[in-house]
Amino acid sequence: MVDDEAQILELLDLSLSLQGFDVCTALSGPQALDLACRHPFDTVVMDVLMSPWDGLETARRMYARLGDAAPPVVLLTGLSLPDYDPAAEPLIAAALTKPFRPSELVAVIRQVQASRT
């Protein structure tokens, strides 16, 4: 889970942990890339608007560094993404617009993981 807002990160960590997911958190793109290089992840859930790298830049850097070993990414955004095509990015498996229910996020993560097996 990657988000530069600690409260959101804590809430999503708790929500996903209660659903049986093992969650690792990062407060920035660089921190997420470092963790992804050291630990294999099934899925990365990441906010779009962050600094110093946004979610798309972070996903691109993960893919550049890890290639096919890079985990799929679920993007979270408070903005509408009408022209965004997740298929345009090799790692973006899904996008979810805020606000959303934790159950919606769980369903998206499970769908992404099921499509990878």
Listed by start position, the domains of the chain span 6-116
Find residue 44's DSSP bridge partners. Answer: 73
Distance CA 52, CA 54 (A): 7
Tell me which residue of 3, 6, 12 sits closest to 103, measured CA to CA.
12
Q: Fold for domain 6-116?
A: Rossmann fold (3.40.50)
Beta strands in 18-63 (DSSP E): 44-47
Mapping DSSP to helix (H, G, I), strand (E, B) and coil, where does residue 110 land? Answer: helix
Other C-beta atoms lying within 10 Å of the C-beta of residue 70: 22
pLDDT in tens, the chain (117 residues): 999 999 999 999 999 999 999 999 999 999 999 999 999 999 999 999 999 999 989 999 999 999 989 999 999 987 665 555 555 566 789 989 888 999 999 999 999 999 876
Model pTM score:
0.88
